[in-house]
Structure 1
Amino acid sequence: MFHESLLRFRVSKEEYVNSYMDGVYRRVVEDEKGDLVLLEAQEEGEGRNSIRLRMTTEGRMTKSAQNAGLEAIKHILAFDLDLGPFYRMAKDDVNLAPIVNKFRGLKPIRYLSVFEALVTAITAQQVNLTFAGSIRGRMVKRWGRKLRVDGKTHYAFPRPERLARARVSTFRTMQFSERKAEYVIGVARAALEGRLDESELRILPIDEAVARLTEIRGVGRWTAEQMLFRALGRVEVFPGGDLGVQKVVARYCFGEERVDEETARRQADKWHPWASLATTYLFAAWRAGIKPTGETN
C-alpha cells in the first residue's frame, strides 16, 4: 500500500520537498549537524512487502546523516504504527470492513514536523491543491536549502528561522495573499519561540493540544486537528470540520452526499481511538472509485 499512501504527492509537479514518481518517494532531510540527506524509498520484494531505502549526501555519508535519514523515513512512512487494533475494531463495522480489507496495509503518510505541517496546511487554505503546491514550491525554492544529486536539484523544507525573517512583500511576489504570508511568518516565529513543542503536543489531551495551536494566527480547529494527525500520528483525532471528511463519511457511512460536522463527529466516536485511520481508508476508497456497501448503480 506504499503507492496508495504516496499518491497525494503527485498533485503538483512543483511541490519540490516531497516527490513521488515512477514508484520512488524522494525528499531531503537535514541532520543535527546541518548536513543534507536525500532519501529515495521504493517498494520491493515479493508482494511488495518491504522498502528499499537509498540515502545520498554531498560528501561522505556520516553516522549522523544516516541516523537522520532512517529516523525520518520511519516517521514519514509510519513504521511505528500498529494497525492490528484498528483492524480488530473495523471488522465489526459493516461499512468500513470491506474497505479495510481492500486496502489492508495502508498507512497515513506523515509530515516531518509540526512546523512543516502547519505551513503546508496554511498554504492550502481556500485554494485548490495544485495551486497550493505551486506557491509552496516557490517558497521552498526561495528559502529551502538545496542538494544536487545525479545532476538534479532537490530541496529541503525551509527552516523556521529563514521564514521568520522573510518579508510579506517577498511572499506576495509568489502569489501568496498578504494574510497567508503573515500566517506563515507567524508560524515560523512560533516555532522559534518554542510554541510548537512536539513532546508536549504528543501527550496533551486533544482539546488542549488544539487550544494551544489555535492561539497561533491562521491556525483554526481544522488545521490543528489535521496537524496532530498528519505530523504527530495522533490517530484518535478527527478533523470533522473538513468538508472532504464530511463527504466521505456521508458517502460510505450514510449513503448521502453530505452530512454536517456534528453527524460526522458522532460517527467518528464509534471509531475511537482510530478515527483518523478510518477516514484515511475512506479517502483511499473514494480515490479508487469504490462504491459504498449496498450501492449497485
Structure 2
Amino acid sequence: MNQQSGRLPVEIDTTVAHEARVYDYWLGGKDNFEADRALGEAIAEHIPTIKTMARANRAFVGRAVRYLVQECGIRQFLDVGTGIPTSGNVHEVAQRAEPRCRVVYVDNDPIVLAHARALMTSTDEGATKFLFADLHDPDSILSDPALTGTLDLTQPTAVMLVAVLMYFRENDEVQQVLGKLMDAVPSGSYLTITHPTADFDPEAMAGVVASAERSGIPFQPRSESEVAELFDGMDLVEPGVAPVLAWRPDPEPAGVTKLHPDHQVDPHSAYYWAAMGRKR
C-alpha cells in the first residue's frame, strides 16, 4: 500500500542549503547541491569526523527500530524529519522484522518529496505514506489524511525525531511540539530522539552553530540534561540518555577479530545524545 500526501511545492531553491540535503551529502548521497555541499564542508572544518557521525546516527535508527518492533511490539511509526531515502529506512527495518508494520514519513524538503516513491515500497501486509509538512506545525501533521488513514492513533505508536530538534532554537517550542505529538498517541507509545550536543567538544560545536546560522539554518545543540527534560513524565528505556554510539550498540559479529584487541570506540566521538522513552 503506497501513497503520498501533502502540499506540492512550487519549486526547489537549490541556491539555499537545506538540512536534509546536507545530511545526504555527509552520507555519501547524490541528491545535494553546491550550497548543501558548501555548508557540509564548512561544518566538516570544525568536526572533520562529521560524516562518520552522520553514519553513526543513521545506524542508531536501525537499532532503535529493531528494538521497538522486536522487544516492544510496536507496529506503527511516525518518522518526522525523514530526510532523503538511504539504505535502512524505518519501514525497511521495521517490515523486515514484522511485515505488518505501518509507517508515515514527514519532511519539509521538496527533494525528499521527489523521492517519496523510494520511501513507500511497502510490504503487502503493511503500509507506508509520505507527508510533506513541517514539524513546526504539528497540528497539520496529526490531522492530515496521510496519517489518519494509515496509523491508528488509539494503538501504541513510535514517534521518531532523529537529528531534527536542533532546528528549534527555543526549548519551550520543542516542548510544545513534543507535547502535541505525544498527547495524540496512547499509553505504551514511544518517543525516540537523537540530538547534537556541545557537551563533548564545545569549541567544535560552536563552529558548527556559526556555520549553520550563516547559511540561514537555525542550529541549537542541547546538553544531556536538556535532552533528558524532553522525556519528562516518560519512562526512559535503558541506558537512558546516552551517546549515540553507546545506545544499545550491536554486538561485534561472531568470528570477527579486531585489528587491535584492546581498542575501544570512544562513545563521545560522535557528538549526539540518543534516548528513547515510553509513555506511561
Do these two structures clear the TM 0.5 threshold for a shared fold by scoring above it? no
Higher helix share: 1
* TM-score between both structures, scaled by the size of structure 2: 0.33
User: Which TM-score applies when normalising by structure 1?
Assistant: 0.32
Structure 1 or 2: larger strand share? 2
Larger RCO, structure (CA 8 Å, separation 6 or more): 2
